[in-house]
Amino acid sequence: MNTTVHDTPGESAREHRCGYVTILGLPNAGKSTLMNRFIREKVSIVSPKPQTTRTNVTSILSAENHQIIFIDTPGILKPRYKMQEVMSSFIGSAVDEADLLLFLIDVSHPDSLDHPGIVANIERTNGRNRVVALNKIDIVKKHLLIPLLEKAHKLFSGSDIVPVSALDGDGTDELFSVILGFLPVGPKLFPDDILSNEPERFFVSELIREAVFISMNQEIPYATAVVIDQYEEKEGTTVIYASILIEKDSHKPIILGKKGAMIRSIGTQARLAIEEFLGLPVYLDLHVKVRKDWRKKDVYLREAGILPRIK
């Protein structure tokens, strides 16, 4: 199964369904990959590194007989500093507004099923509409899936359990049908042509940050943020000036690279991704700024767009 089917047989005779689906899971469980597959567009950035998603990212899937508002959340973790506390608060708000909670669990790590963060959220959401997707079955040996399914049914008693691979699409048609069945009957909340309620600048900054995550090693990506300093269209070209925030002076020469090679590589990757996203030529100018301990300070979290600016 390599495609997601959005209209099921006989659906045209049903009433219109509309609702919010919040996707929950540990870091790097595949939440963004799954949402992008359902939407058939790259809405959430993806990298092999955990904690890539830092805020709730909303995407809207509209069809004749349904509209699903997916909320991709940061990975569930125990906060260690202010930015992670804010990330955890985003998860809480997304849970509160959901019509359906979709737990995505990476079964290539069997201990993820009874991870303390997952267990706590199971207890917190008892009585709520809940679906559990066991992800990454493409890299799990088949004889191990049955005991994992049995364990999931015990932990998530009464919940639908669906094994999937968000990466290659196995099981995602079935999962989509299960999700649709939980949504309430109601009218659309957004116009059909709206893919997300996030502004373009948000996606541009995320695509730059994705290029940083893909290019850099070790701890540096987690200590970076992107600020859009200037964003305008001139004669058919989108002109973007952006700053990459880092925490330590010692990180600056690393992210710049020898004779600026690394920052140019990051810029090229980001520019190509932004051009594909916008469908327009892009001029991108990147700078690096040191903001010591920015992940721990409200003023810098606001600058990075993780906290709302004070009006």
Examine the pLDDT at 265 and tell me if it is beyond 90: yes
The residue among 122 and 160 whose pLDDT is bigger is: 160
**Residues 163, 222 within the same domain:** no
- Chain center to CA of 225: 16
Same domain, 163 and 18: yes
Q: Are residues 98 and 144 in the same domain?
A: yes
Mean pLDDT along residues 156-167: 92
DSSP 8-class letter at 185: B
**Is 189 a member of any domain?**
no
Mean pLDDT across 54-72: 92
Please report, rounded to a whole number, the percentage of residues in the chain having pLDDT higher than 90. Answer: 54
Which domain does 269 fall in, by range? 200-303
Annotate 63-83 with b (16+ C-beta within 10 A) or e (fewer). eebbbbbbbbbbbbbeeeebb
Each residue's pLDDT tens digit, 97-106? 999 999 999 9
Provide the pLDDT confidence category of residue 49 given band limits of 50, 70 and 90: low
* pLDDT for res 218: 64
Total structural domains within the chain: 2
Question: Within a domain: residue 97?
Answer: yes
Q: What is the per-residue pLDDT for 48?
A: 57
Query: Is residue 11 scored above 70 in pLDDT?
Result: no
In a domain, 106, yes or no: yes
Domain end call among 182, 210, 234: 182
Q: What is the pLDDT of residue 221?
A: 65
Q: How many residues does the chain have?
A: 311
28 and 124 co-located in one domain: yes
pLDDT of residue 47: 55
Last residue of a domain, one of 148, 182, 216: 182
239 is a domain residue: yes
Residues 147, 296 within the same domain: no
Q: What is the CATH number of the domain that holds 23?
A: 3.40.50.300
Checking if the pLDDT of 20 tops 50, the result is yes
Has residue 238 been placed in a domain?
yes
Q: Indicate if the pLDDT at residue 51 is higher than 90.
A: no
Could you tell me if residue 192 is inside a domain? Answer: no
Residues 211 and 164 both lie in one domain: no
Summarize pLDDT for 24-42 with one digit per residue, the tens. 999 889 998 998 899 887 7
Residue 85 belongs to some domain of the structure:
yes
Q: Are residues 89 and 227 in the same domain?
A: no
10 falls in which pLDDT band (50, 70, 90)?
very low
Query: What's residue 6's pLDDT?
Result: 42
CATH number for 269: 3.30.300.20
Whether 86 is in a domain gets the answer: yes
Confidence of residue 77 (pLDDT cuts 50, 70, 90): confident
Residue 165 scores a pLDDT above 80: yes
Indicate the range of 76-90, 161-175, 266-280 predicted with least confidence: 76-90
CA 298, CA 255: separation in Å to the nearest integer? Answer: 24
Residue whose C-alpha is closest to residue 164's, from 128, 197, 140: 140
Residues 228 and 107 in one domain: no
Paired tokens of 157: 């008693």
Q: Are residues 91 and 218 in the same domain?
A: no
Claim to verify: residue 178 and residue 204 sit in the same structural domain: no
